[in-house]
């Protein structure tokens, strides 16, 4: 990211160095070399600003596309989850009808320990006289 912001300066400096060296090799006066170097520095600095903005714009567009793709994938996943939930609910409706039947049969289990014996209340015998009076 920091290198992108340095593009205008770097382009201006390199262009100025190249213009200065070529002007010096051809034998141009010093005053004219300085003018050419300053003009080339300004021009290539402006071109570097344009290139920097262009690169940043492309990068931002790529990020937006990636985010849009991620959002679409997220929406697809949500839709798939909803569809799965609907299917599970439909399956559970069929299973719930079967599951609503109550099984009243209970297996005989040994409810008490060996040491504990409940009172036997159901073995009480009533006298016949008491039953006739009731």
Q: Where are the alpha helices (DSSP H) in the chain?
A: 2-5, 7-26, 30-99, 128-133
119 lies in some domain: no
Quick check: is 120 in a domain?
Answer: no
Structural domains in the chain (count): 1
Q: Note if the pTM is more than 0.85.
A: no
pLDDT averaged over every residue in the chain: 82
Instruction: For residue 40, give every residue at least 6 positions away whose Cβ sits within 8 Å of its Cβ, in sequence order, or none.
Output: 12, 15, 16, 19
Q: In this predicted structure, what is the pLDDT of residue 126?
A: 63
For residue 116, is it within any domain? no
Instruction: Report if residue 75 sits inside a domain.
Output: no
Q: Using only C-alpha atoms, what is the Rg of the chain?
A: 47
Domain span including residue 38: 2-68
Q: What is the band of 23 on the pLDDT scale with cuts at 50, 70, 90?
A: very high
Within a domain: residue 26? yes
Instruction: Using pLDDT thresholds of 50, 70 and 90, give the confidence band for residue 97.
Output: low
Domain contains 131:
no
């Amino acid at each position: 990211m920091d290198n992108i912001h340095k593009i205008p300066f770097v382009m201006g400096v390199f262009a100025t160095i190249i213009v200065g060296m070529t002007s010096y090799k051809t034998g141009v006066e010093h005053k004219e070399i300085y003018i050419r170097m300053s003009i080339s520095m300004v021009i290539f600095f402006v071109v570097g600003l344009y290139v920097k903005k262009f690169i940043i714009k492309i990068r931002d567009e790529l990020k937006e596309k990636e985010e849009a793709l991620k959002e679409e994938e997220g929406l697809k996943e949500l839709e798939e989850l909803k569809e799965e939930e609907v299917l599970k609910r439909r399956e559970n409706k069929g299973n719930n009808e079967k599951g609503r039947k109550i099984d009243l049969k209970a297996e005989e289990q040994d409810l008490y320990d060996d040491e504990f014996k409940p009172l036997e209340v159901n073995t009480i015998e009533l006298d016949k006289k008491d039953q006739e009076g009731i």
